Structure 1
Amino acid sequence: MKLMFVLLLCAAAVCITCEQPPSDEDWLELHTPQGPVRGRRDPNADHLYAFHNIPYATAPVGKDKYKPPLPAPVWEKPYDAINKNIICPQYTLQLYNLKPKNSVEQEDCLIANVYVPDTRKTNISVLVYVHGGGFFGGYGDFLTPKRLLKSKDIVLVTFNYRLGVHGFLCLGTENVPGNAGMKDQIALLRWVQKNIASYGGNPNDVTIAGYSAGSMSVDLLMLSKSAEGLFHKVIPESGGNLATYTIQRDPLEVAQYQAKLLNFTNIDDIHALEEFYRTTPLEQLYYTDILSTRFYSSALFSPCVERETEDEAFLTESPLSILQRGSFKKLPVLYGFAAMEGRGRLAFFEMLKPKMNQNFSDFLPNDLKIDSEKERREVSDKVKTFYFGDKPVGEDNKLGFVNFFTDVTFSHAMLWSVKLYAEAGHKSVYLYEYSFVDENAPLVPPITIRGADHCDQTFAVVDSLDEDLASVEVKNMKKTIRQIWHNFIKTGKPVPEGSSLPAWPAAGAARAPYMSLGQELELRHEPLLETRTLFWDDIYQKYYLQPIPPPERIPNSRIEL
C-alpha cells in the first residue's frame, strides 16, 4: 500500500509554460550581497519579476551529503536567475508524481526563487513559502501564491530543501547529525535576512507559511532556538508541530529499518550503518516501497530530536516539552486546517476497509505507546467504536472513516497545539476551519462525500490554471481568503481594525473562538471539534510516546519487517 496518500495530498498538476526569449526590457538587474542578479518579467504574472535558481546555500555532496548546509556562493559578473528546474533527490512513486517536467535532480539542490513586484516601493513585507510533500517530495515552486502579490506590497520567496533520507536521516554522528532538511530551511531564512533588502523586501517583516509538511515545518521553526529572530509571523496550513508525521519517534530504529529493507544486515554497528548510508547512492536509498510498509498514519523520514551535544542542532527537545514549558517566541500565528482533511483517503477505502476490520490496531497513530497487547486491543476497540459504532467499517459509515483520518493525521494535533499555545500565554493564535465547498464541482468516484479536503485552503490562496473559468462563488471565496492572508502578512491579524470582514479574536485554551471559512465567514465560540478532540486528548494523556534522539551507544536490537 502506498502510504503517502496522507502525507502531502496537496498535489496539483504542474504546468511548464513554453516561453519566448525575453527582450532587453523584460530583464531587471539587482545588486545583492552575493553579486549582481538578473531576473526577468514573469510570463504568467506580468506584475512580477521572477528570479529563479538562486543558490541560497551549498549542499554538501558525496559522503558528506547529510551534513548541514555550507555558505552560498558569490559572484562578480551578472548572474542570470532563470529556471533550470533543479529539484532535490526524492522518491519516484507511481501514485503521486511530485516532480516537474524536465526536472534536474542533484544533491546540491538548495536554490531559491524570488518574486519581486513591479514597483518602486522598497522595504515591503516578505512571504517565505515552504513546500509540502510529506518531507519526501516536492520542490519550491510546486505551488505559488503569485496572485497574493497583486497589490505589489509583498516579496515572495520559494525554495528547495533536502528531502527523505537525504534530508532527515538522523544518526547523531558527526557525519549524519540529523535534520539536514530543517537546517536548509534555517539557511534560507538567514539568506533572506542578508539578501532580501536587495530585492525590495524588509528583513524585519518576514512571514513564513507552508502547506502540509511545509505547515509542519513552519510550526516547528517557531519552536527552534536556532530559528529565533529570522521571521515574525507564521501561517501553518494543514499540519502542526505535534502531528504524528512531524517528528520521528526513534530515528535510529527508522535508519535501521530502511537499511534492512535494502538488504544491509549489520544494522547494530553504528559505524557500519553510517558508512552504508554515506556510500550508497541516493537513487538506491529512495526505495520505492519504503512508504508502503508499517504505518498508515505516519511517515518514516521526517524531522527528529537531536542529541544535546550536536553543534548547530535544529531541535534538541520534543515539541510537546517546548510547548508545555512555553519556551518559544510567541509570534502571531494564523492556524488551521480543512474540515475533512481525511477525505482523500476515500480513494483507498476499498483497500483499507478489510484491513481496518481485520486489525484496527494497525491504524492507531505511531506516537502512542501501549505496551500491553490486551490494553492495545482495548484502546483500538474504543477508537473503532467511537468512529464506526458497533458496525464494521463499511459503506454506511464512510463519514466516520473520513473523520478518523482527519483527526489522527492533522486536526487533533493542531488543536492540541492551540491549547498548549494558549496555556503558555500565547495571545495571538488565530484559529480557523476551512469548510468551503464548490457545490457545482462534480464528485469523481470513489470520492463520494463532499467536503474540504487536505490543504484546500492552500488551493484557495495559490494560483490555479482554471481560476478565470471558476464560478462566481469560487472567485469570491478565493478573493476573501487571499484578503485574510494578505491582512495577516501585513499586520499580524487576519482581520485588522476597519476591515469589512467579521471580527476575529485570538483563540484561547478551549480552542475557541475560531473562524469558519465556508460559504460565509462565521466566528464561532464553541470549541472546534470538541467531542472528537477531547476523545483524543484523553488517549494522548495516557499513552503519548515522546520522540527520542539517537543514542550515544547502539543497543542490540532486532528490527522486524
Structure 2
Amino acid sequence: MKTAVVLIFTLGAWVRAADDCVIAETEFGLVCGARKKATNGEDFVSFLGIRYAKPPLGELRFAEPQNPDPHDGVFDATTPGLICPQTDRPLSPQLENPPMGEDCLRINVHVPLASLPDGPDRGGRGKPLLPVLVFIHGGSFAAGSGNPDVHGPEYLITKDIVIVTFNYRLSAIGFLSMNSKYIPGNAGLRDCFFALKWVKRNIRFFGGDPEEVTLGGLSAGGALAHLLSISPATQGLGLFKRGIYLSGVGIGNFFSAAPLYPKILSLTFLQGMGISSFRSAKTIHQELINAPIEKILEAQKYVQNRTGIFLFAPVVETPRAGFTTMLPKDPEALLTEGYGKDITTLFGFANNECQAFKKALIDGNLQKILRTVPVLIVPQNLLFTSNALTIPVLTMKVSSEYFNSSLPTLEKFLPLCNDGLYKYPALRSVDKRLAVSAAPTYIYEFGYHGEVSVIRQVLMMDWPGAAHSEDLPYFFRPNLFYEIMKPDKEVDELAQPDPDSRMRLWMTTFIANFVKTGSPSSNPSAWQPAGPQLEYQSIEEPMQYKFQPAYPYLREKKKFFDKLYKIGRVEVFG
C-alpha cells in the first residue's frame, strides 16, 4: 500500500495519499481507508478494522474494555479486522468463517467521499457534518461481525449518512457471568458502550455529526441496542438520539435476565471446561483467562449441546469495582421507569420470523424435545421468572392457545416462536414507552417476499412472506451472498420496474429518513407514531404505504401474552 502523504492539514483533518488510500486522523493515530463505489456509482471510503479498544487478551479477556495504545505511522484500515471467536456461521455452517481472534474489538466507518472534511479536492471546513447510523450485528450473542461481508454499506451510503459497524465479544467471552468481581457478565454489552463512546469522540474526524447519531441493530444486535438505550450507564451522555431495533429488543423472550438463567449456563460451561464450580472465584477466573481460545469454543459447543436453545446473553449485574454497571435491574423495570424515553424509536419485525430457523429446529429434533420436556413451550423470559406453582399453569395455557392442548408439532410451534420471541416483546416495549409518554415510536412489519434472500438461498427452502433478517439485505448489501451464491443478477437501484430494486430504494430511503429526521417517512400522515392501537406500517410491496392498527390476530396474541406475563413474572428481581 502506498502511504506517501501529499498534504496534511491540522489535527483531525483529512490527508490525501495515493488514489487507493485516504487517510484520517483519529485520537489514537492516522488510519488509511479504501476508496470504493456505491451502487449509484458514487465514491465512498471504507475504514475497516480500526481498534476502538485494547485487544482483550490475557487478564483483559473478561475485563472492562480499555483504550487502545496510540500507534505510530499509518494504520492500514483497507481490509476487515479479525472477527471475534465463534463457531459456525449462523444458518450456514458450510461457509467458513473469516479470520478470527481475540484481537477483534474493531470498528468500521463508511463515509461518502464527497462529504469528507478538509481534503484538497473536497472543499473546506464549512462542509456540514452528516448524520450517523451505528448498527450492531446480530447472531444470537454468539456469532457474526460488523464486517462488510454481511453489512455492506453500498446501499445506505447513497443516502448521505455515515455508517458505523463494529465487533464485540461473543458467547462465553462476551456474556458469561460468574456473578463475581472477576467475571460479572455483560462484557459484550460494555464493548458496545465503549464503541459508542469512541464514535462520540472520533466520528467528527470522518465527517459525521456526533450529535446526530442513531443506534440500530438486528436480532441480538437489536436487543443490545435497546438495552443500551435503557441502561442507566448511557443516560445523559448524548451518545445517540434515535434507536432502530429490528427483530430483537431488550426484553426479548429468546433470553432471560433472571438470575437463574446465567447460573445454569455458567455451571454447564464450567463442566465443559473441566473446572470445578466449587473452586474459588479467583481460581476459576485464572483458569479461564489461561485457557486457549479453542478450549473455550469447545466448551461453548458443550453448553449448546446440553442446554439447546439457551444462550449466553446480557444479565442483571451486581455493581462491581472496575466495571461499568450496565444493567443494575430487570430491563422490564428500567423500561417501566422511563429509561430511554427520550430516544425516538423504530421497532421492526418480520411477519414470519421463525421460518428462518425451521431447518435448525428439524435438525435439532425440537418436536421430540418439546414432547419430552413440555415446559419448553413457555417463553424463556417467563420460564425463569416463574416458580413451581406457575410453570404448570403457563405450560397449560400456551399448550391450549397454540397446540389445542395436544402434543406439540413443529408447524404449530413456529407461530408461537413468531409471536412470543419477536412480535410480542416489541409490542410490549411500545406499550411501556406509551405509558411514560416517550418520544415518538414507530413500528413496521416486513412481509415482502423478494427474489434475493440470503437465508432462503443458503437453506434451499421457501416460505410465505418474510423470515428473520430478510429485511436486512434491502438496506445493507450482502456482499458474501453475491460472492458465494453468484446470483444471475443484482438488483439495480435504477431499474425501477424490478420489485426488489424498488424495495431496496424504499427501505434505504425510510431508514435514512429516520436517521436524519426521526421520522421514517417524509409524508407524516403516511407513517405516524404508534398510539394505543399500536398502529404500524405493513411492508408487503415496494413503495406502498399500508399504515394500520394492529390486526385482529396480533391484538389477540398480545392480550394472551399480557395475561401470561401477569401470571409468569412472579420472581421480580433487580
Match of 1:308 in 2: 319
How far residue 115 of structure 1 moved from its aligned partner, in angstroms, is: 0.9
Alignment pair present for 1:481 and 2:498 = no
Match of 1:138 in 2: 144
How far residue 94 of structure 1 moved from its aligned partner, in angstroms, is: 8.8
Amino acid aligned to 1:337: F
Q: 1:258 aligns with which of 269, 273, 277?
A: 269
How far residue 480 of structure 1 moved from its aligned partner, in angstroms, is: 1.1
Alignment pair present for 1:356 and 2:370 = yes
| Distance of aligned partners of 1:123 and 1:212 in 2 relative to their CA distance in 1, 3 Å threshold | same
Amino acid aligned to 1:129: F
Q: Is the CA contact 2:443–2:537 (under 8 Å) kept in the aligned structure 1?
A: yes
Q: Using the alignment, how far apart are the partners of 2:525 and 2:62 within structure 1?
A: 48
Match of 2:422 in 1: 410
Match of 2:527 in 1: 504
Q: Is the CA contact 1:226–1:314 (under 8 Å) kept in the aligned structure 2?
A: yes
| Distance of aligned partners of 1:513 and 1:469 in 2 relative to their CA distance in 1, 3 Å threshold | closer
Q: Is the CA contact 2:345–2:439 (under 8 Å) kept in the aligned structure 1?
A: no
Give aligned-pair identity as a percent.
Answer: 26
Q: Using the alignment, how far apart are the partners of 1:447 and 1:405 within structure 2?
A: 18
Match of 1:210 in 2: 217
Residues 406-426 of structure 1, C-alpha deviations (whole Å, 9 max, x = no match): 122211111111111111111
Residues 438-466 of structure 1, C-alpha deviations (whole Å, 9 max, x = no match): 38989888856412101222222211435
How far residue 355 of structure 1 moved from its aligned partner, in angstroms, is: 3.1
Match of 1:6 in 2: none
Q: Give the structure, 1 or 2, with the largest relative contact order (CA under 8 Å, sep 6 or more).
A: 1
Q: Is the CA contact 1:126–1:154 (under 8 Å) kept in the aligned structure 2?
A: yes
Q: 1:39 aligns with which of 33, 47, 67?
A: 33
**Number of residue pairs matched by the alignment:** 517
TM-score normalised per structure 2: 0.83
| Distance of aligned partners of 1:449 and 1:262 in 2 relative to their CA distance in 1, 3 Å threshold | same
How far residue 220 of structure 1 moved from its aligned partner, in angstroms, is: 0.5
Q: Is the CA contact 2:256–2:380 (under 8 Å) kept in the aligned structure 1?
A: no
Alignment pair present for 1:384 and 2:378 = no
Q: Using the alignment, how far apart are the partners of 1:509 and 1:336 within structure 2?
A: 17
SS in 2 for 1:540: helix
Q: Using the alignment, how far apart are the partners of 1:84 and 1:456 within structure 2?
A: 24
Alignment pair present for 1:532 and 2:557 = yes
| Distance of aligned partners of 1:453 and 1:545 in 2 relative to their CA distance in 1, 3 Å threshold | farther
Q: Is the CA contact 2:442–2:530 (under 8 Å) kept in the aligned structure 1?
A: yes
Residues 286-309 of structure 1, C-alpha deviations (whole Å, 9 max, x = no match): 22242232243x41x111111134
Match of 1:73 in 2: 69
| Distance of aligned partners of 1:547 and 1:293 in 2 relative to their CA distance in 1, 3 Å threshold | farther
| Distance of aligned partners of 1:284 and 1:99 in 2 relative to their CA distance in 1, 3 Å threshold | farther
Match of 2:55 in 1: 59
SS in 2 for 1:274: helix
| Distance of aligned partners of 1:195 and 1:545 in 2 relative to their CA distance in 1, 3 Å threshold | farther
Q: Using the alignment, how far apart are the partners of 1:418 and 1:494 within structure 2?
A: 17
Match of 1:222 in 2: 229
Match of 2:110 in 1: 115
Match of 1:553 in 2: none
SS in 1 for 2:526: coil
Q: 1:155 aligns with which of 133, 144, 162?
A: 162
| Distance of aligned partners of 1:34 and 1:440 in 2 relative to their CA distance in 1, 3 Å threshold | closer
Residues 357-384 of structure 1, C-alpha deviations (whole Å, 9 max, x = no match): 44422232222244337x5344323212
| Distance of aligned partners of 1:145 and 1:424 in 2 relative to their CA distance in 1, 3 Å threshold | farther
TM-score normalised per structure 1: 0.84
SS in 2 for 1:113: strand
Q: RMSD in angstroms over aligned alpha carbons?
A: 2.9
Amino acid aligned to 2:144: G
Q: Using the alignment, how far apart are the partners of 1:62 and 1:331 within structure 2?
A: 37
Match of 2:303 in 1: 290
Q: Is the CA contact 2:231–2:339 (under 8 Å) kept in the aligned structure 1?
A: no
Amino acid aligned to 2:528: P
Q: Is the CA contact 2:38–2:158 (under 8 Å) kept in the aligned structure 1?
A: no
| Distance of aligned partners of 1:203 and 1:253 in 2 relative to their CA distance in 1, 3 Å threshold | same
Q: 1:124 aligns with which of 127, 130, 137?
A: 130
- Shifted more, 46-55 versus 464-473: the winner is 464-473
| Distance of aligned partners of 1:534 and 1:420 in 2 relative to their CA distance in 1, 3 Å threshold | same
Q: Using the alignment, how far apart are the partners of 2:570 and 2:473 within structure 1?
A: 33
Q: Using the alignment, how far apart are the partners of 1:267 and 1:472 within structure 2?
A: 62
How far residue 271 of structure 1 moved from its aligned partner, in angstroms, is: 3.6
Pairs within 5 Å for 1:165-204: 165-204=172-211
Uncovered stretches (5+) of structure 2, i.e. residues with no partner: 1-16, 116-126
Q: Using the alignment, how far apart are the partners of 2:94 and 2:167 within structure 1?
A: 13
